[in-house]
Amino acid sequence: MIKRVIPLLDLRHIQRSASFPKAASAVVPASGHLLDARQRPLRDLRISVTDRCNFRCAYCMPKEVFDKHYRYLPHSAMLSFEEIVRLAGLFVAHGVGKIRLTGGEPLLRKNIEQLIAQLHQLRQPNGQPLDITLTTNGSLLARKAKALRQAGLSRLTVSLDSLDDAIFRRMNDVDFPVAQVLAGLDAAQAAGFADIKVNMVVKRSTNVADIVPMARHFRGSGMTLRFIEYMDVGATNGWRMDEVLPSAEVLRLIAEAFPLVPLEPSAPGETAQRWGYADAQGNYDPQLGEVGVISSVTQAFCSTCNRARLSTEGQLYLCLFAHQGWDLRSLLRNGSSDEEMSAAIAGIWGQRQDRYSELRAEQMAQGGSGEAASDGTTPPGRKRIEMSYIGG
């Protein structure tokens, strides 16, 4: 029997809430098909393996907040690889088929390829291997790509917001050259990664002029470029709605240069809308590839969200815009059995009602500022967790 799940919030960024969902009151075997209160299945687990990053992008870890005095988590507070793998196995038993490693910058975690190799050994209830992917800023990819592939990493996502070196250096705010990220992408292809996505966060005042050059560069490259609307994640990135360029406008700009045709989603709950480059006859040409748009501000996809997030220190979050988490690390380190841990996860997910982006859209439609509130996600006066803490 589960007695309790200990809620613990990251007190550096957010305020304690007095209301928490309760864990399951009895141990129930995992069925591989766990549904939340809105009938959304649990399919995707994103695991932050470090809260550190070597970039200081303004929309994620602005330098004025994450400066030399910022206190990162001590090593003892972070989940060990063994703890991560144990938790991952429990989530897989509940239906997770995809695990994404994030950060911070996950390639800063020492021996990350050893963790990937351990996760690669896990199997879904049907015996299939997991889809293991990783999101990186690409700064260390050239030296790590081969080892990541050999360890069993399935896919890669690389964040790249501009091909213009001056703009890129300004956006990462540590004067890192774009050429080294491009070299990392080349190394990843050479290592055998066939599924590489490149994510570009579009900010109206900063890199709109880079949209078409990015599309031109990656068209026919074997890599998929995705454009992400600038999101109001956390409380430190100074988000404003007038800095958001809607995805519809991004697609219009690209289509003026390269005709596009809509494509079907590749998987249930996919966040990106897919568009393929057309040939001279107006048909999708797989050799030219595709682009995607992630429109979490202007076209909320909460209704199909199937993702949970595990922080570096073992806090479980149910939404990218969450203000509270549940402390699975304490259960791990206090001797809870796998059955008890599994029941705790089931109880937390089973009461999930998060739909922040839908609420934001509803408020904006009523003339509001776009700052959503309540309904289990972000009550008034509560600060959301930072993206650098739970990954994108």
Mean pLDDT of 27-41: 86
Strands 307-310 and 315-317: antiparallel
For the entire predicted model, the pTM comes to: 0.87
Tokens of 384: 């959301």
Q: Where are the alpha helices (DSSP H) in the chain?
A: 81-93, 112-120, 141-151, 165-172, 178-190, 211-218, 247-257, 328-333, 338-350, 356-365, 387-390
pLDDT at 13 over 60: no
pLDDT band at 371 (very low <50, low <70, confident <90, very high): low
pLDDT at 191 over 80: yes
pLDDT, tens digit (0-9, with 9 covering 90-100), for 275-306: 999 999 999 999 999 999 998 878 877 888 99
What percent of the chain has pLDDT above 70? 83
For residue 209, the model assigns a pLDDT of 95
pLDDT, tens digit (0-9, with 9 covering 90-100), for 56-89: 988 788 898 899 899 999 999 999 999 999 999 9
For residue 385, the model assigns a pLDDT of 65
For residue 362, the model assigns a pLDDT of 76
Q: How far apart are CA 296 and CA 360, in angstroms?
A: 10
For residue 286, the model assigns a pLDDT of 97
Picking from 49-63, 194-208, 367-381, which range would have the lowest pLDDT averaged per residue?
367-381
Picking from 46-50, 108-112, 366-370, which range would have the lowest pLDDT averaged per residue?
366-370
Quickly count: other Cβ atoms within 10 Å of residue 165's Cβ. Answer: 12
For residue 19, the model assigns a pLDDT of 32
Architecture of domain 44-390: Alpha-Beta Barrel (3.20)
For residue 266, the model assigns a pLDDT of 83
* Angle, CA of 322, 229 and 259, to the nearest 5°: 145
Question: Residue ranges of the domains in the chain?
Answer: 44-390
pLDDT band at 167 (very low <50, low <70, confident <90, very high): very high
pLDDT, tens digit (0-9, with 9 covering 90-100), for 201-241: 999 988 999 999 999 999 999 999 999 988 766 555 556 78
Mean pLDDT of 321-350: 92
Most confident of 24-28, 58-62, 143-147: 143-147
For residue 359, the model assigns a pLDDT of 82
| Residue 226 contacts residue 242 (beta carbons within 8 Å) | no
- Whole-number average pLDDT of the chain: 86
